[in-house]
Copies of this chain bind each other. A is one copy, B any other.
């Protein structure tokens, strides 16, 4: 594992709960890994877990201080640095997904070296990945693909992991982005990997496994998103999924960050993703649809999902409103 567990979650001076959404994600999906939270005086977020000092957290076995909050103004503030230094001195590693890298802070870098502790910037690839070899691996893999970026692919994969575990089945969420890596403690920051090694990094992330084990691979980008489609295709060809879940946000008016582009239909996504997946895995199937219905009423969402099921002939759920159980059932 890249990160040592358990964690103390650093919320700092979070302006509001949204600023601490990374910490919230870790607490929601890996509650057992979270010893407590560290909040500064003017913190406006609260995960509802115990507030601990650095010393208390260490005493209870915390191994890593995880920066679970977005920083303000693009710098790591003096008050944060003081806490981070305290953590390093107390024997904790520090992990962060911030744009400003921990290793670029001279005070932290020298103290980490002195104390023998690690500064782990999960945005930066921490391994040398191979070039993909396209060789079939044992075990099963499911990949979430989206009509657009930010439509719930990570949430879907995490919810699927939870649902499979609830059914007593073997499954591992495989993180490909910063937040996912902080949640699981390991993964590949795919958008920062050098082009030639993208697919290889995904093969590395999803190695041979037991025949009935499911890797639930976090999707990135979209085949239909001009900026990031290459990353998505590397996920499909490196992941060689047995199952695809289509992810969608029905009220999105244009592709994220691309005002001139409308979203593809779910049929277009299904056909394109499946054709490309068949290059590496002829048995790949689209098994279900995950819809982010956050901006719909309960009744609207229910009708939308039911219409979609009829239209596509696939289970369609919002794993946040309901659960991913029916998607898990579709993984056979």
Residues in A lying within 8 Å of B, measured CB to CB: 131-136, 190-196, 198-200, 223-224, 226-234, 237-238, 240, 255, 257-258, 260-261, 264, 272, 275-276, 279-280
Contact = CB atoms under 8 A, between A and B. Distances in A.
B198 A226 contact: no
Contacts of A257: 131, 133
Contact of A199 (B133, B229, B237, B238): B229
Nearest to A189: B195
Contact of A194 (B136, B195, B258, B261): B195
Q: How many copies does the complex hold?
A: 2
Given A223-B276, A276-B223, A195 B230 contact: yes
Given A224-B279, A272-B276, A196 B231 contact: yes
A239 to B, nearest CB: 10
B223 A199 contact: no
Kindly name the residue among A195, A230, A258, A264 whose own CB sees the greatest number of chain B CB atoms within 10 A.
A230
A234 B238 contact: no
A131 B224 CA distance: 15
A227 B131 CA distance: 6
A255 B255 CA distance: 34
Kindly name the residue among A198, A224, A272 whose own CB sees the greatest number of chain B CB atoms within 10 A.
A198
B196 A195 contact: no
Contacts of A224: 279
Given A134-B261, A276-B223, A191 B195 contact: yes
Contacts of A233: 223, 229-230, 232-233
A192 B257 CA distance: 25
Contacts of A231: 195-196, 198, 230
Nearest to A192: B194
Contacts of A280: 226
A198 B190 CA distance: 13
Contacts of A255: 134
Contacts of A136: 260
A197 to B, nearest CB: 9
